[in-house]
Amino acid sequence: MYEFLKKKYGQNFLIDKNIIRKICNLISAKHLNIIEIGPGDGRLTDYILKYQPQQLNLIEIDEDLIPILNSKFFKNDKIKIINEDILNYPLIEKVDLIISNLPYNISSQILAKICLMRDPPASLILMFQKEFAERLLNKNLNSLNSLVGCFYDIKNNFNISKNCFRPIPKIDSTVLQFTRKKKFLLNNNELNHFIEFKRNLFSHKRKTLKKLLKNYNLDPAKFDLGKRVEDISLNQLIEIFREVNL
């Protein structure tokens, strides 16, 4: 069936059962409320079910895969199959875990959407193309990890060879585990302003903070304005954000 997969959806099916089992071993408990984004033909879903989820919502954008999922799981009343684009789907339900092999072209958008949930899940188990995962794990700040880091601690679990997928992608993948922080670094009423603020800084990341923030009366004794935004800590970025938004 791989010849029928759609490039616009970034579809690559993980076919290695040992890797699928290894991913599901990261699930922390049974009886969770789980969302699987892009279940494809349900191979990962089969192993998720071993953890007896309280509810498992499968969100699949490709309508041609829905009959396959329906035929496999129609007897399981814990599963709800949703033919929807995750970017359009309202993430409003109570969720303990989101698990997915995320399409590379919308990975950042999906992560941002999860972070902006009213009650983000306690855990995420997400597979990314390796280069994207490295951006999230980078010790230097970037536009992506500066948002995600406000809500989650990220652990690098393992890499997956591109040969474990069909069709074979151009790059290896990495599985990351996200654990929700006990206390978020941002308040809900700060989120939209922070996103706009950090987007502006990272779009001119080669300039120093002194140049980027010249219109604000920041104390040079308190902030090292000679640095670029990528060279400061996340806590420092938030502190500067709050200073200029007083």
- The enclosing H or E element of 167 equals none
CB 240 within 8 A of CB 209: yes
- The interaxial angle of helices 234-244 and 191-202, nearest 10 deg, is 110
What count of residues does the chain have?
A: 246
Name the pairing type of β-strands 165-166 and 13-14.
antiparallel
pLDDT tens for the chain, 246 residues long, are: 444 555 544 568 899 999 999 999 999 999 999 999 999 999 999 999 999 999 999 999 999 999 999 999 999 999 999 999 999 999 998 999 999 998 878 999 999 999 999 999 999 999 999 999 999 999 999 999 999 999 999 999 999 999 999 888 899 999 999 999 999 999 989 999 999 999 999 999 999 999 999 999 898 889 999 999 999 999 999 999 999 986
Residues of the chain with CATH 3.40.50.150: 2-180
Cα angle for residues 118, 120, 121 (degrees, 5° grid): 145
Model-level pTM greater than 0.95?
A: no
SS3 19: helix
Fold exhibited by the domain 2-180: Rossmann fold (3.40.50)
Residues of the chain with CATH 1.10.8: 188-244
How far is Cα of residue 231 from the mean position of the Cα atoms in its chain?
23
Structural domain 188-244, CATH architecture: Orthogonal Bundle (1.10)
According to the model, what pLDDT value does residue 78 have? 96
